[in-house]
Structure 1
Amino acid sequence: MAEIQATISRFTVSATEWLTGVNDWIYTWIIILALTGTGIYLTIRTRGVQFRHVRSMVSHLKESRRGARGGISSFQAFAIGMATRIGIGNITGVALAMILGGPGALFWMWVVAFFGMATAFAEATLAQIFKQRHAGGTFRGGPATYILHGTGSKLLANLFAIFMVFSMIVAMPMVQANSISGVLYGTHNIPLWVSAALIVISTAVVLIGGVRSIAKATEFISPVMALGYIITALAIIVLNIDALPGFFRDVFASAFGLNETLAGSAGGILATILNGVRRGLFSNEAGMGTNPNAAATATVDHPVSQGLIQSLGVFFDTMLVSTATGFIILTSGVIDLRGIDDSASSHITSDAVTATLGDWMAVPFSIMVFFFAFSSILGAYAYADANLVFLGKTSVACQRAAQLTAVISSGIGALLAISFVWTLMDTAMAFVTIVNLIGLIALTNWVVASLKDYENQKKDSELIEFAPHSGVLPGKLTTNGWGTP
């Protein structure tokens, strides 16, 4: 057994080093420029939709539980998206970014989210425009669908779907499960194999129920856990309100290399930017192409309404939750970010919370982390399922194989080194994101036309209905989500 463990350890170390080199090149020369560039471009083309329609975002969110007509409601689709948005990326991911890139990594997470709100709006709107109707009153869609029917490129569409399936049933479950086992071991000394067994059993039970089961589970779990975490964060912020100005000062100083003592363990401004962008992408997922798979399932009257709701999710995720995590870590007074290894990132936030509020918070916080990560595994499988449908892999055997892979990946991820699973996720995200951004740029005119139609209707009436076959779009819609093409 010891020899097997040593072999696995050597493999993961070697794989991590190789993938890190690949990731550094891709993120430095492609992802950063493509992600921010696309966000800026979409912000300009939509005339700052993330600022002009804040009131509409809130209004649509309030009404999002209605009008499902037997399908998946706008709020359920939003909840599936938030299940992967708000979670481990906001806890372990923020901690990891700050260890490697210093507090300034938070600033670059804000930048990604700032423009990412427009990106999230665009991809969710496209997912709704090109969605496909399926049996039982449900819809499916996402980047693979809008790339195929919008650009006509079957190659790009299939590449996206394949990358997404791998990311969502292998890499994502590994990261989420690893965070659960890390917190339970670091905080409660629970053996990794016990956590792995718990995760495997829980995941298997829910996944057998299918997408509707996932929607029902995440509709309850995501808001409750997010609310619990936000209340915890607010309590810590209130107790340490005097530290707020210093917190923002340190973040900005670190972001631009103005204070060497605030540099991360990876050193330098480039490391700060790289880790901020990577963790920002994983946290809010804007541009990655994951959330559009959830957005497409919603039953709504106009694509833009779901686009606005999904855009608001980016704000909640990064500007509020991730920032609160950064504040908790920096103001706890018990953690020296430069003096710890990245393997500790899974329980740093937990340590900071208990140091501030007391040891009694260890159990409630661990429960929050468990359900954050667990709901993310479920949401990820829903994304994989949508892309399997796109690839034509709809048989029971294919579905069971995908479910089994997700379950096994969760169990393995709980046992592996944190550096390996996060590096693997970074690599998977990079390829998915590149293909999705190509689709977004190519289909921007569809987003702009849909937004214009929404705004024109909103001027005259509160009743807004999408009529894609009336000439409001720049091309012919060939999917059946809005009636016969």
Structure 2
Amino acid sequence: MDALNSIIISFNDFLWTYILIAMLLALGLYLSIKTNFVQFRYIKEMFRLLGDGIGNKNKKGSISSFQAFCISTASRVGTGNLAGIAIAIAAGGPGAIFWMWIIALLGSASSFIESTLAQIYKEKDIDGTFKGGPAYYMEKGLNKKWMGVLFSILITISFGLVFNAVQANTITASFHEAFNVNEIVVAIILSIITLFVIFGGVHRVAKVSEVIVPVMAVAYILVALFIILINFTKLPETIALIFENAFGFKQFTGGTLGGIILIGVKRGLFSNEAGMGSAPNAAATASVSHPVKQGLIQTLGVFTDTLIICSCTAFIILLSGVDYTSGGVEGIQLTQRALSAQVGSWGNIFIAICILLFAFSSIVGNYYYGESNISFLTSKKRYIFLYRIFVVFMVFSGCLAKVSIVWNLADVFMGFMAIVNLIAIFLLSKIAFAALKDYTEQKKKGIKDPIFKKDSIEGLENISEWE
């Protein structure tokens, strides 16, 4: 098993060091410039649209923009925010946090483009709900069905199976740390709950996400703010530590700066999923009047995930004084011990409950991404049934797996997915640029809720909606 893990790590290092980091940063910068940094210009509009999505009642059989936001945020906000940050700090030091911020700021432009494209090329399912995502815009926009098939297979394996094993693994570790609960007991209970939710279909997934995501996020942020307030005098030196480690002469001369960047970018992408091609599957389900609306809402999800929730975990760990360099504690246990050092033993229990909600919401969100892409591959319902059984099996086995192999395998599939999707959104980016231009022009004319139609973009083909 150790030999297999070593092979996976070596391959990961090559894939990320020489291919993915360059692609993510270069494309993120290119899309930011071409959209005049839409991720910063339209922040006020993002919050307005999200508020409208909460207030508006969606039509029967459809998913609201807020519910779509919650499905994607449910998938984003999970173990990457609590366990992944702890792993990043333990492996790369505080400087890794800075590079997570950078990948979120640049990657949010990629998230805007992919989610806008998903809306443009979405389809209506037989039950009246919308479906779409990278596989659909690869087939319709690029006329490359094979590319869509490849992406569908990768996302179904990585999100529905491998990533769900990661989420289950972290839930088990946190409950063992807090309550000393046997792994098999957690595996059985978690598998039964997962079975109940995913067999309820996308509407049950949406309703579960709509309730869990806001509650868990607010609770966790409030606790983190409390930690920051009681350690307010240490805050300037902690922020300075992050920047010193991110650019430090010591790290550069020691040859570890590249490793810090690598770890920060990897864990950042695992957490916020910007450009990976996962969130567009949720974005496509929303019923909105213009594709750019959901593109902006999904961009806000990247900021919520990395700049807020990931930063909360980072400051909890760095302000706690807990030794994160010894290597004796992995992942979620480090976050639990850091919080317990500040607030007492209930910190262990609070993190265990948080990770249960964070990670379980990720499981149902990840599940939906796989279901959406199996629908792209085949209309036969028996394959959806088999997929659901495999998801439950991976949740069960993930509870019992060795943490390092699960995380490293997740990195491999995440890397392949991201490469395929980044190529597609680069080739189709001009369509999203045109949609953004149309939205901006309507806003300048004083139209509060811009409306998109097929002929809003000249030469747009293979569109089944937006009559």
Q: Normalising TM by the smaller chain, what interval?
A: over 0.9
Q: Could you say which residue in structure 1 is the equivalent of 2:140?
A: 149
- Aligned with residue 351 of structure 2, among 341, 344, 365: 365
- Whether 1:355 and 2:302 are equivalent positions in the alignment is no
- Aligned with residue 223 of structure 1, among 214, 217, 222: 214
Q: Could you say which residue in structure 2 is the equivalent of 1:244?
A: 235
- Aligned with residue 416 of structure 1, among 401, 404, 408: 401
Is the alpha carbon distance of 1:348 and 1:271 closer, same or farther for their aligned partners in structure 2, counting shifts above 3 Å?
same
- After superposition, where does 1:36-435 map in structure 2 within 5 Å? 36-65=25-54, 66=56, 68-70=58-60, 71-259=62-250, 268-333=256-321, 335-341=322-328, 344-392=330-378, 394-435=379-420
How far did residue 185 of structure 1 move? 1.1
Cα pair 2:95 2:241 within 8 Å, conserved: yes
How far did residue 182 of structure 1 move? 0.8
CA distance, structure 2, for counterparts of residue 297 and residue 131 of structure 1: 8
- After superposition, where does 1:12-23 map in structure 2 within 5 Å? 13-23=2-12
Q: Structure 1, residues 267-323: CA drift from partner, whole Å, max 9, x if none?
A: 711211111011000000001100000000000010111111100111111111111
> Is the partner of 2:53 in helix, strand or coil?
coil
Q: Structure 1, residues 384-439: CA drift from partner, whole Å, max 9, x if none?
A: 011011111x3232111111111110111111111011001000100100000001
Residue type at the aligned position of 2:258: L
Cα pair 1:445 1:474 within 8 Å, conserved: no
- Aligned with residue 431 of structure 2, among 419, 424, 446: 446
CA distance, structure 2, for counterparts of residue 255 and residue 475 of structure 1: 46
CA distance, structure 1, for counterparts of residue 251 and residue 444 of structure 2: 53
TM superposition score normalised by structure 2: 0.97
How far did residue 258 of structure 1 move? 3.3
Is the alpha carbon distance of 1:372 and 1:405 closer, same or farther for their aligned partners in structure 2, counting shifts above 3 Å?
same
> Is the partner of 1:476 in helix, strand or coil?
coil
Single out whichever of 181-190 and 114-123 deviates more from structure 2.
181-190
TM superposition score normalised by structure 1: 0.93
Q: Could you say which residue in structure 2 is the equivalent of 1:8?
A: none
Q: Structure 1, residues 134-187: CA drift from partner, whole Å, max 9, x if none?
A: 123210000110111111111211111110110122111110001101111122
CA distance, structure 1, for counterparts of residue 34 and residue 139 of structure 2: 22
Q: Give the share of equivalent positions with the same residue, in percent.
A: 41
CA distance, structure 2, for counterparts of residue 159 and residue 482 of structure 1: 27
Residue type at the aligned position of 1:441: F
Residue type at the aligned position of 1:468: K
> Is the partner of 1:51 in helix, strand or coil?
helix
Cα pair 1:68 1:300 within 8 Å, conserved: no
Residue type at the aligned position of 1:223: P
Is the alpha carbon distance of 1:474 and 1:273 closer, same or farther for their aligned partners in structure 2, counting shifts above 3 Å?
farther
CA distance, structure 1, for counterparts of residue 350 and residue 241 of structure 2: 30
Residue type at the aligned position of 1:312: L
CA distance, structure 1, for counterparts of residue 6 and residue 189 of structure 2: 30
Cα pair 1:78 1:294 within 8 Å, conserved: yes
> Is the partner of 1:448 in helix, strand or coil?
helix
- Whether 1:482 and 2:466 are equivalent positions in the alignment is yes
Gaps of 5+ in 1: 1-10
CA distance, structure 1, for counterparts of residue 185 and residue 249 of structure 2: 45
Cα pair 1:468 1:477 within 8 Å, conserved: no
Residue type at the aligned position of 1:132: E
Cα pair 1:68 1:298 within 8 Å, conserved: no
Aligned residue pair count:
465
Q: Could you say which residue in structure 2 is the equivalent of 1:7?
A: none
CA distance, structure 1, for counterparts of residue 75 and residue 260 of structure 2: 24
> Is the partner of 1:135 in helix, strand or coil?
coil
- Whether 1:459 and 2:444 are equivalent positions in the alignment is yes
CA distance, structure 2, for counterparts of residue 340 and residue 19 of structure 1: 20
How far did residue 463 of structure 1 move? 4.0
Q: Could you say which residue in structure 2 is the equivalent of 1:5?
A: none
CA distance, structure 2, for counterparts of residue 442 and residue 29 of structure 1: 21
Q: Structure 1, residues 224-278: CA drift from partner, whole Å, max 9, x if none?
A: 11111111111111111111111111111111233469x9xxx711211111011
How far did residue 14 of structure 1 move? 2.3
Cα pair 1:80 1:219 within 8 Å, conserved: yes
Residue type at the aligned position of 2:178: T
How far did residue 363 of structure 1 move? 2.2
How far did residue 67 of structure 1 move? 5.2
Residue type at the aligned position of 1:338: T
CA distance, structure 2, for counterparts of residue 16 and residue 479 of structure 1: 44
Residue type at the aligned position of 1:426: D
Gaps of 5+ in 2: none
Cα pair 2:289 2:452 within 8 Å, conserved: no
CA distance, structure 2, for counterparts of residue 344 and residue 118 of structure 1: 32
CA distance, structure 2, for counterparts of residue 113 and residue 171 of structure 1: 23
CA distance, structure 2, for counterparts of residue 289 and residue 296 of structure 1: 12
CA distance, structure 1, for counterparts of residue 53 and residue 3 of structure 2: 47
